[in-house]
Structure 1
Amino acid sequence: MGETAGITSVRYSTFYIIDAQRKYQICDRLDIIIEARDSTNKSKVNGGDYIRVRIYNNDFKAGASTDGEVVYLGDGNYKASFTLRWVGKSFVRVILVHPAEAVNVLRRARDTCPTRYGYSGRFTGKIGKKSVVEDTLCNVIPPVPNATICDLTRHAIAEPWFCTAPTKTNLTCSDFAWTCANKKFSAALFKPAMTKQEQTLFKGQKQPIPVRGINFVTVTQQDKNISSPAHCFNERLPPCAVGSHSLSNPMAAGYFFKGHWYSNYCRLRNFVIPSSLKCLTNKTLYFHGDSTSRQYYEYIVKTLKSTLKPNPPTLQSNWKVGPSLAEDKVNNFTVHYRHHGYPIRNNWTDASEVKYIEEALDELKATPNTVFMFTIWAHLTTLNMSFYEHRVRRIKAAVERLHRRSPETLVVIKSANTRSHGSAGSSVTVSDWYARELDMKLREIFKSYDKKIGFIDQWSMVVGFSNVDAIHPGQGIISSGMRTLLSHICPEA
């Protein structure tokens, strides 16, 4: 990447801090300009590069993401802005996740390939006394053209699932029993999404863009005679509650300082085990989604292990997808985890245990002591945007139905996060560009309802926390997310 004329190159692209030498104070705005150039040192005038920027100070264990997205200004220039949050040095790091040409490939793949990942279905039964098994291909669209298809769609919620019908045995569509990811089928699906030449665009991903000048500013304490925005100091914020996080506000969700997450929207409480147990007494928590939601279930079980004991249902076929249950009989609360429904990129899972978020919400016996947190992104990056939008709008409608039954039930959404993708194949299926596009679509759909829900902006957390991208963020991120959740459940001591 960067050696072909016309392709954005980190060798010649640079960034600089506007007014790097001025005296900055807490709450001041910091602006960064990124100049994108190709391998011939020509300005990239068309825009479209996927660039990520953060400020940080490793000595302070401090970091923050941008206020809003990186904006293209024209003539090859981009702008990123921050609100300065800590006294001392704030360093700037800019990375080119994908050049514009790679983004164009990803967008075309998403828009022209309905799915870029494949799955298997297992049909089981008996012929006489003999057990019979047959595996076929499955997907959210009929997986094989002109083949006989089993339509396994949940028509009540319009969530599609199709498998090729068994042909080698006398099994029928009603014998569908198990589901699993199929890597060989997946490779056949995403391989046509790009040419060999286009694959070279994904070499050396997430490369830092060098600075022109100095890469930091020094921040001093604010003059007491100068007023500042109310959101700039955490102690002035209101306690966290439903509607605290505006999904249409471009301000960063928060920042890390001394390894501690501070929200820019509401005042988070500090929780230790006694206060956590007090907060959760008589509560029922549901975590639905992918493995980044399961991390919250596992974190709370591990943290409160003295009284909270896992008790998975006997039918559970795969701990990665649930259903899982943990109970605290001393403090009278329970915690549940379940996957969000097809598509599921995990090991063999009992199809009878698959339940969509919409179904779970509609079946929920909700009370004011019920908390429902969900996330929906990681397994859907391989699908086109219309599929994702359909799914999220149906979830939103189910949340609205829930609140008509039980207005005080707390619903919290957890956003997407970054992950590693080191090859062309992984990029065309799970690139951060896809994840961020889904995340922004979810925020757009729910922004008209954000006064009635809680929101955990894990994207801002992981970008601000470190330079490491992982599908399963470390404990520092999960503990910050859990603290945000508990602050919504129990905003006051």
Structure 2
Amino acid sequence: IITMERHISRSLIIFILLALTGCIVLIHNITYLENITGNLTIALNQIKKNIQLHFETNKNLWLPELNDTYYAHLGQKPTAEEAKEETFLLNSIAWPGPSVQGLSVELSSNPAKSYFLIQGPAEQPIGGQLVVVVHVHNFLGLPKKYGGDFLIARLHSPKLGAGVAGKVYDHHDGNYTVLFPLLWAGEVQVQITMVHPSEAVEVLQRLQKEKPDRVFFKSQFRSGGVSQTTECNLWLPFNQKPLCNYTDPLTGEPWYCYKPEMLTCDTRVTHFMGGYRTNLITKYEQQFFKSGVNIKVPIPASGMEKVIVLPAEKGQIELNYTAAGYYHHNTWRPRNGSIMHQFNDSAAITHCLRGKLVYMFGDSTVRQWFEYLTAFVP
């Protein structure tokens, strides 16, 4: 019994020693892991601070997200209403194009082998509507299977100095319908012109998207005896050279110039057109821009190209037209009933404009009107 008790006591002591050793090792490991975790947390926090510091100091270099219609670094971001209006306008001018890219020129639109047909009799009443169908063919003489051709249509009477534009409807299958309002009596002639084939329109769309600076401008900067000239435009690469930002703060309309090397942005004194970019299209694309072949070429008629418009009958109902107006005896007649005043000399124009503020909105055509008016009126 005594021997057995001694054996149990010895085993108990060994067990206690082992347990104490295990506890000591466990405590040591826990402490070690806590130190590792703490150091790791400190390291991660430091990395996080470094990342935040990097973006704080480089936030002006962050590239904006670009899309087809808006460059974030150019002027103000559009409002929700403006974005909605932009989408509506872009959808309204969306243009159909070839379903297959890279077609040979023989398969492109050929105005000389296309034709139009006047629908209805050779005599039609005033106040009605003349319907014309256009069939576009390719250089092989085969009908086109897709639309997108840029056609303009005119109904005119040269002897009367009269004319009106037609409304062109694209059926997206190589066929078009043109509607003309019959607004004056007499002989009228239909004229359909292919300004560009659909394949050329596709090239123009590409250039509009990829080369927004096809027309470039310049400004002169001057201070004292130092003068420098740099390029300007609505859009300039913002990551190549320093830019001078002349964006309108009220409208958000962007305008940029490259900053002159030796002068500041506030020394800009003049603005003028620089010119046009060249060599923008490939040899393949040049085939769709041949004068007299597929640029501003009239489409011939199949059958009659003229009709006689008969005078109005009593009780005849006039149709509602989309045309804003028409010319008659070389005078513009708006369809909204506005009275047009004719001026034959500068004195009459000056008398009419005296005391008035005239706003002119538009493109380069309006600019021509402005230049003509300022030159004509003393």
Q: TM-score, normalised by structure 2?
A: 0.65
Deviations 1:17-52 (A, max 9, x none): 01143x311111100000000011111111000011
Residues 32-111 of structure 1 correspond to what in structure 2 (within 5 A)? Answer: 32-66=132-166, 68=167, 70-111=168-209
CA distance in 1, matches of 2:272, 2:358: 27
Does 2:127 match 1:27? yes
Q: Give the equivalent residue in structure 1 for 2:21.
A: none
Q: Is the 8 A contact 1:137 1:143 kept in 2?
A: no
Q: Is the 8 A contact 1:144 1:164 kept in 2?
A: no
Instruction: Give the secondary structure class of the aligned counterpart of 2:107.
Output: coil
Aligned pair partner of 1:175 in 241, 249, 267: 267
Deviation of 1:76 (Å): 1.7
CA distance in 1, matches of 2:375, 2:285: 45
Change (3 A) 1:13 1:6: same
Q: Is the 8 A contact 1:45 1:74 kept in 2?
A: yes
CA distance in 2, matches of 1:263, 1:176: 43
CA distance in 2, matches of 1:288, 1:15: 36
Deviation of 1:164 (Å): 2.0
Instruction: Give the secondary structure class of the aligned counterpart of 1:109.
Output: helix
- The letter of the residue matching 1:154 is D
Q: Is the 8 A contact 2:186 2:310 kept in 1?
A: yes
CA distance in 2, matches of 1:220, 1:125: 70
- The letter of the residue matching 1:134 is Q
Q: Give the equivalent residue in structure 2 for 1:164.
A: 258
Deviation of 1:115 (Å): 2.5
Does 2:334 match 1:263? yes
- The letter of the residue matching 1:178 is T
Which structure 1 residue ranges, 5 or more long, are not aligned?
A: 232-249, 310-493
CA distance in 2, matches of 1:120, 1:60: 46
Q: Give the equivalent residue in structure 2 for 1:391.
A: none
Deviation of 1:161 (Å): 1.9
Aligned pair partner of 2:358 in 280, 285, 301: 285
Change (3 A) 1:197 1:155: same
Aligned pair partner of 1:200 in 246, 268, 287: 287
Does 2:299 match 1:212? no
Deviations 1:299-323 (A, max 9, x none): 55676x5xxx4xxxxxxxxxxxxxx
Deviations 1:254-312 (A, max 9, x none): 11122122222214244457986775454333445555334444555676x5xxx4xxx
- The letter of the residue matching 1:124 is R
Deviations 1:40-91 (A, max 9, x none): 111111100001110111111111101x3x1112432100001111211111
Residues 43-442 of structure 1 correspond to what in structure 2 (within 5 A)? Answer: 43-66=143-166, 68=167, 70-126=168-224, 131-143=225-237, 145-167=239-261, 170-183=262-275, 186-187=276-277, 191-192=279-280, 194-204=281-291, 205-229=295-319, 251-272=322-343, 279-280=352-353, 282-287=355-360, 292-297=365-370, 309=378
Change (3 A) 1:156 1:59: closer
Q: Is the 8 A contact 1:143 1:162 kept in 2?
A: no
Q: Is the 8 A contact 2:148 2:172 kept in 1?
A: no
Instruction: Give the secondary structure class of the aligned counterpart of 1:35.
Output: strand
- The letter of the residue matching 1:211 is A
Which structure 2 residue ranges, 5 or more long, are not aligned?
A: 1-102
Q: TM-score, normalised by structure 1?
A: 0.50
Change (3 A) 1:16 1:111: same
- The letter of the residue matching 2:253 is E
- The letter of the residue matching 1:175 is T
Q: How many residue pairs end up in the alignment?
A: 271
- The letter of the residue matching 2:215 is Y
- The letter of the residue matching 1:174 is D
Change (3 A) 1:112 1:217: same
Change (3 A) 1:258 1:285: same
- The letter of the residue matching 1:163 is C
